[in-house]
């Protein structure tokens, strides 16, 4: 079905929005051209978007589309530390720079893993196992968390492998004061990460809902959105509850 000028303008505005989620940008590309875009040279996609929607795609948005495409079509972000690092950085809004090592923050790692898993899960067959992270990626993730003093991360980050056999808490069992201080920090950090994830998910669902996608089953989308938003709201509520308990 041909798109009207209002739809085209809305698509162009979103494609040019440097704050747009990678999932939204890729969804627009797949809706317009189908999964064939995964086989295209990226320049073919940029030219097609320019010709069809008059869009001047920002570099960061090109990076976002390519980052998710890499997760869809290869297992590199799961087995290569370099690919994992760059993909997570890009999904959090940083342009890819292969000359500089931009160490991930726990938030960037969390969102990168979740956005990749959200997309791969949609594309995966019911009996198909999700991709597994390599030992090297898991150790790198553990290093990121250790550097931030996080030893009790949210479930999605429990793939991390810590170099020390004992967690930060286990090393402090003989010092009750320090133990309690570190314990409280673990609860705070975990709650903050969960709230961050919940708010990002709510924003993503709203953005996806606003997209003028033609190839979308309204009933299936409503069920999917309700399930994701319900989970996201619980994450935010858990943070509020944790803060109330501490105060």
Q: What is the DSSP string of 11-49?
A: HHHHHT-TTS-HHHHHHHHHHHHGGGGGGS-HHHHHHHH
d(CA 88, CA 192): 19
Rounded Cα gap, residues 71 and 84, in angstroms:
9
pTM higher than 0.85 for the full model?
Answer: yes
Q: What is the pLDDT of residues 157-216, one digit of tens each?
A: 999 998 765 555 555 555 565 555 666 777 888 999 999 999 999 999 999 999 999 989
pLDDT of residue 125: 58
The counts of H helices and E strands in the chain are 10, 0
Q: Along the chain (247 residues), what's the average pLDDT of each consecutive run of 10 residues?
A: 82 97 97 96 97 95 96 94 96 84 93 93 65 95 92 91 65 57 75 95 97 93 94 84 53
For the record, the structure tokens of 100 come out as 């500089």
- Strand residue runs (E) in the chain: none
Predicted pLDDT at 239: 62
Tokens matching residue 113: 């893993």
pLDDT score of 247: 47
């Amino acid at each position: 079905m041909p798109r009207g000028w209002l739809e085209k303008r809305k698509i162009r505005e979103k494609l040019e929005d440097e704050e747009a989620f990678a999932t939204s940008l890729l969804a627009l590309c797949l809706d317009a051209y189908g999964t064939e875009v995964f086989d295209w040279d990226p320049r073919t996609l940029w030219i097609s978007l320019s010709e069809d929607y008059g869009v001047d795609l920002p570099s960061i948005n090109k990076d976002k589309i390519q980052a998710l495409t890499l997760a869809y079509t290869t297992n590199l972000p799961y087995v290569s530390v370099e690919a994992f690092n760059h993909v997570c950085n890009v999904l959090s809004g940083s342009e890819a720079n292969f000359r500089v090592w931009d160490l991930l923050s726990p938030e960037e790692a969390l969102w990168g893993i979740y956005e990749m898993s959200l997309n791969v899960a949609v594309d995966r067959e019911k009996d198909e196992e999700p991709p597994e992270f390599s030992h090297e990626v898991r150790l790198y993730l553990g290093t990121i968390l250790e550097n931030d003093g996080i030893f009790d991360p949210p479930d999605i980050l429990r793939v991390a492998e810590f170099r020390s056999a004992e967690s930060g808490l286990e090393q402090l069992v003989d010092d009750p004061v320090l133990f309690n201080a570190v314990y409280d920090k673990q609860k705070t950090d975990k709650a903050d990460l969960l709230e961050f994830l919940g708010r990002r998910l709510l924003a993503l669902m709203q953005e996806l809902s606003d997209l003028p996608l033609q190839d979308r089953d309204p009933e299936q989308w409503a069920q999917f959105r309700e399930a994701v938003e319900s989970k996201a709201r619980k994450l935010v509520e858990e943070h509020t509850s944790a803060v109330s308990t501490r105060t």
